[in-house]
Amino acid sequence: MIRLRDVTEEDSARLLAWRNLPEVARYMYSDHTISQTEHDAWFRKMMADPEKVYWIIESAGRDVGMACLYPVRKPAVTQIHCGFYIASPGERGKGIGLATIYQVLRTAFEDRGIGVLHCEAYAFNTRALKLYRSAGFRESLRIEKHSRKNGAWQDVVALVFEATDWPAAKARLEPLARRAGAA
């Protein structure tokens, strides 16, 4: 069974450890190891902000990753972004990502009434891009040389999913997510 549960104070140490795993950090915007002080400041801010929703991804009762919905404020517009990662390498390739995306999309469009959901991934993260596209996200922008990663400028792909696309995507994704064990 795959489910998303709200992050609690007890998850703080686990999130820091996961975030600093090389296989997770390689897809994040920052290259440095996150310190305890930096993490604590982020965690306090995240937990205090009711607009940010962070979940622990559970698979068969084990914590295996993190998913989130959060606003990104820009002049005259607020975009709602989503993201996730599977921290446990042994859990990748089992459908947990698809089941997670399905649950995030369902929450965004059915529970929160979001009109458009955004996400970003490095262009070199082909596995994530393939998964997002298979869920129904479409590329909206390729940002060339967006950020430095591993000592080189990297392109980022921005994707969107519109609420009007959710009913058809839900009909297609729900059986797949249930087979993967989505709650």
Dump pLDDT digits (tens) for 131-161: 999 999 999 999 999 888 888 999 999 999 9
For 14, how many CA atoms within 13 A lie in the half-sphere containing its CB?
16
Query: 93 near 130, Cβ under 8 Å?
Result: no
Which CATH number do you get for residue 27? Answer: 3.40.630.30
Better-scored residue on pLDDT, 182 or 53: 53
Q: So what's the pLDDT on residue 183?
A: 58
Q: Which domain holds residue 169?
A: 2-180
Over residues 32-83, the pLDDT tens digits come to 999 999 999 999 999 999 999 999 999 988 999 999 999 988 877 789 999 9
* Average confidence score pLDDT of the chain: 92
Q: How far apart are the first and last CA of the chain?
A: 6
Q: So what's the pLDDT on residue 98?
A: 92
Tell me the average pLDDT across 161-182. 90
Over residues 88-139, the pLDDT tens digits come to 888 888 889 999 999 999 999 999 999 999 999 999 999 999 999 999 999 9
Q: What angle do CA 119, 161, 58 make, to 5 degrees?
A: 60
- Exposure pattern of 64-101 as b/e (b: 16+ CB <10 Å)? bbbbbbeeeeeeeeeebebbbbbbbeebbebbbbbbbb
Coil, strand, or helix at residue 121?
strand
- Residue 166: what residue type? W
Q: What angle do CA 74, 112, 58 make, to 5 degrees?
A: 100
Q: So what's the pLDDT on residue 1?
A: 84
Q: Number of folded domains in the chain? A: 1
Q: So what's the pLDDT on residue 40?
A: 97
Looking at the chain, the number of H-run helices and the number of E-run strands are 6, 7
Rounded percentage of the chain residues whose pLDDT exceeds 90: 78
Entry pTM: 0.92
